[in-house]
Structure 1
Amino acid sequence: MEASEIHILSVGTALPGDPLDNAGLARHFGMDAIWEQWVDAFVGTRARHLSVDLSTRQLRSSLADLSTRAAARAMDAAGVGPGDIDVVVLGTATPDQLMPATVNVVADRLGIDGVPTYQLQSGCAGAFQALDVGRQMLRAGGLRTALVIGGELCSRHYDPGVDLAKLDSAELVNFVLFGDGAGAAVLSAEPASGTPVIRRVLNRLTGLNREPGQVVEWTGALDRDNADRAHIKEDYKAIEESVPAMSREIAAELLADLGWASTDVDYLLPPQLSGRMTQRIVEGLDMPVAEEITRVDTIANTGNAMPFFQLEQTLPQLVEGDRVLGISVESSKWLKAGFALEMA
């Protein structure tokens, strides 16, 4: 029997280590105060949490570590154990290994076995894809509880010893924009009063004949020492131009599908590229009564973890009838993503 409504029972998150502010980042890379002030003024991200210790170059926590912590917190908050989970879905752009899939390592650590598991390889849209897969699996009937996870370990892709002054802007911007983290949610097909219902989830590729806005390379034996190939690069100009417009399109489509007006939205979870970009996006969305939930200024862009950090802050504030709109744009090949929640 198909389940009509899927509820979010709980959310949990995890961050590695202490926050690293812009002054600390500038000191490590030998950049002057002007660079630090530029990050504060034009990027608007004040701090981030990194799994890599920049001074020792040691990895202090893996994506599996962070995801396990976030998932355990979500499960504890929902009052469910390993035997209650019927499906596990992880969305990430930065898995620990190609194999085994990080989702299976996390399930093993949590004591979950004998259930379907899925790992979705995607950037900022991956958390929304994971949410959609978990929701659809429960709606199909036969399953009751889904564990949905999103997380990133961006810092393992950076060289702590690089000379930032020699990088072009397409590579330099990544050092100030991104942080590490993980988040998780427990979804239920069973009626649960006082929990939000997922009304819509949007996932759509819109990158036909468009150049990627961000590229992150795999490092294999044949290209590990290819100095001519940037490991990470980002077309930030294209992102600045496209993301605000795409965000407006996502919001308009979700509202139209649900028959909601912009004044019906009580909480807005906008894309979290950087402090300044998020501000621009929100101004263009024109949702006058919505409370904006932004975390990027204090934990940086954590990719697929970010929607869970936003939800973690939002859920305790919800009262009956409240409506929530979440929006994300993935610039890798230009994906639109979003969700709409309503408090039961």
Structure 2
Amino acid sequence: MPEVYVAGIGTRLPGPPVDNEALAGALGVNREWIEQFIGTRTRHFARDPQTGEIRWSLADLCAQAAERALGDCAVDPARIEFAVLATATPDALMPATVNLVADRLGLNQLPTYQLQSGCAGAVQALDVARSLIQCGRYRTGLVLGGDVSTKHLDVSLGPSGAGPAELVNYVLFGDGAGAAVLSAEPEGRRLLLSHVLNRLIGTGLDPGQTVEWFGAADRGREDGRAAVAEDYKAVEQLVPTLAAEIVWEMIDDLGWDAGRLDFLLPPQLSGRMTARIVEGLGLPGAKEISCVADTGNTGNALPFFQLERLADVIAPGQRALAAAVESSKWIKAGFALEAV
């Protein structure tokens, strides 16, 4: 099977950063609680937290990220033979957001795929794209990941209008999108996608996160359901364990020497959780590539933000491992890269 390379990477964040002081003021909570409990400094919102106006759609952000990815490796859009988008927050049930993005990029007469998934979705999209190229049918494709979580959240509620399981999402998440050009040729960034892990392990486990089909800002609460609910205690308990399983399983599958791992892209739930995960992995020789403290948890965009930072520092011959855990129904995901 042909090898598959990450040739170009692009990301997009909406608007200026929202710091903890501004967010605490909007929510009516304590700034110190956000900093100590979550460990995230800033995030970006596609929706104005004061007026509720939606300023960027997911399609807006994904199209702009894709343009940057194509420009990053100087690949003409005419070379793109398929597109895969992973998101938990599509702009609408239909049409699929991936098709709106393709339209904006001038892509036509090509297969498109949209995966409905949480934080593991970006890795699932990479897995699908890698398989499409390895089967020999295609040579170049576009992979996208992004989420606009704030459309599910109503920041005017304040602490009295949202329970703890819901309120934590207001400080965890930010909006954003990322894109990567995958190629059968070692071009552009020349990052060999050596391995992808994508596995559901949630049989018998309660969901750690639930996202309803409505947003709290555009529907009533007559039935008492929250738009987004998080079992943060379950997440805190399971994610570090699953992250370790992902990393060591991939190291074993690849036959790599853990002492020769150069970079680690850990799960990015929050700044505080990421620090715990990295400490527990016991890989002091691997440099951490994280972004969540500055971007917030952007869901399916996060691996692309990490990839973008990695691409600027990785040297030929160096190796990197990325891990992602989805808590909605517990998915282990990850991928391995080598700079050539």
- Quickly name the TM-score band, shorter chain normalised: over 0.9
User: SS of 2:103's equivalent?
Assistant: helix
Q: Which residue of 2 aligns with 1:343?
A: 339
**How many Å separate the matches in 1 of 2:166 and 2:225?**
11
Q: Which deviates more, 145-154 or 186-195?
A: 186-195
Q: Is the 8 A contact 2:8 2:189 kept in 1?
A: no
Equivalent positions of 1:306-317 (< 5 A) are 306-317=302-313
SS of 2:107's equivalent in the other structure is coil
Q: Given residue 164 of structure 2, which amino acid in structure 1 is its aligned partner? A: S
CA distance in 1, matches of 2:214, 2:171: 22
- Give the superposition deviation at 1:209: 0.7
The alignment status of 1:142 with 2:137, answered yes or no, reads yes
Alignment of 1:255-294 (within 5 A): 255-294=251-290
Matches of 1:160 and 1:224, distance apart in 2: 15
The letter of the residue matching 2:13 is: L
Taking only aligned residues, the RMSD between alpha carbons, in angstroms, comes to 1.3
Residues 158-307 of structure 1 mapped to structure 2, 5 A cutoff: 158-192=153-187, 195-219=190-214, 225-307=221-303
Letter in 2 for 1:6: V
For residues 214 and 31 of structure 2, the distance between their equivalents in structure 1, rounded to whole angstroms, comes to 30
> Contact between 2:74 and 2:188, CA under 8 Å: does it hold in 1?
no
Deviates more, 1:136-145 or 1:223-232: 223-232
1:318 shift after superposition: 1.6
Give the structure 2 partner of residue 9 of structure 1.
Answer: 7
Distance across 1 between alignment mates of 2:228 and 2:185:
43
Determine if contact 2:73/2:188 at 8 Å carries over to the other structure. no
2:51 aligned residue (47, 53, 56) = 56
Once residues 190 and 244 of structure 1 are traced to their aligned partners in structure 2, the CA distance between those partners, rounded to angstroms, is 35
1:122 aligns with 2:120: no
Which runs of 5 or more structure 1 residues have no equivalent in the other structure? none
Deviation at 1:76, TM superposition (A): 1.0
The equivalent residue for 1:89 is 84
Take 2:324 and 2:315, find their aligned partners in 1: how far apart are those partners?
A: 24
Letter in 2 for 1:67: C
Q: Distance in 1 between matches of 2:139 and 2:146?
A: 24
Q: Which amino acid aligns with 1:73?
A: R
Question: Cα gap change, 1:333/1:29 in structure 2, threshold over 3 Å: closer, same or farther?
Answer: same
- Once the two structures are TM-superposed, the CA of residue 230 in structure 1 deviates from its matched residue by 1.5
Q: Tell me if the contact between 2:242 and 2:325 (Cα under 8 Å) persists in the aligned partners.
A: yes
1:105 to 95, 100, 104: 100
Identity percentage of aligned residues: 54
SS at match of 1:59: coil
Q: Deviations over 1:94-114 (max 9, x none)?
A: 000000000000000000011
Find the residue that maps to 1:58 and give its secondary structure. Answer: coil
Which runs of no fewer than 5 residues in structure 2 stay unpaired?
none
**1:220-259 deviation per Cα after TM superposition (whole angstroms, max 9, x unaligned):** 9xx8653411211000000000000000000111000001
Q: Deviations over 1:294-323 (max 9, x none)?
A: 101111110100000000001121211100
Residue deviations 1:149-183 (CA, integer Å, cap 9, x gap): 00000001001221223422111100000000000
| Equivalent pair of 1:90/1:103 in contact (CA under 8 Å) | yes
* Contact persistence 1:6–1:190 (CA under 8 A): yes
Separation in 2, partners of 1:42, 1:160 = 19
Distance change >3 Å, CA 83–CA 234, structure 1 → 2: same
- The letter for the 2-side match of 1:336 is K
Q: Which position in structure 2 is the counterpart of 1:40?
A: 35
Aligned residues between the structures: 337
Deviation at 1:194, TM superposition (A): 5.8
Query: TM-score, normalising length from structure 1?
Result: 0.95
Report the Cα distance in structure 1 between the residues aligned to 2:270 and 2:301, rounded to whole angstroms.
15
1:193 Cα offset (Å) = 7.6
TM-score scaled by length of structure 2: 0.97
**AA in 2 matched with 1:181:** G
Q: Secondary structure at the match of 1:37?
A: helix
User: How big is the shift at 1:12?
Assistant: 0.2
The farther-off stretch of 94-103 and 262-271 is 262-271
Give 3-state SS (helix, strand or coil) of 2:280's partner: helix
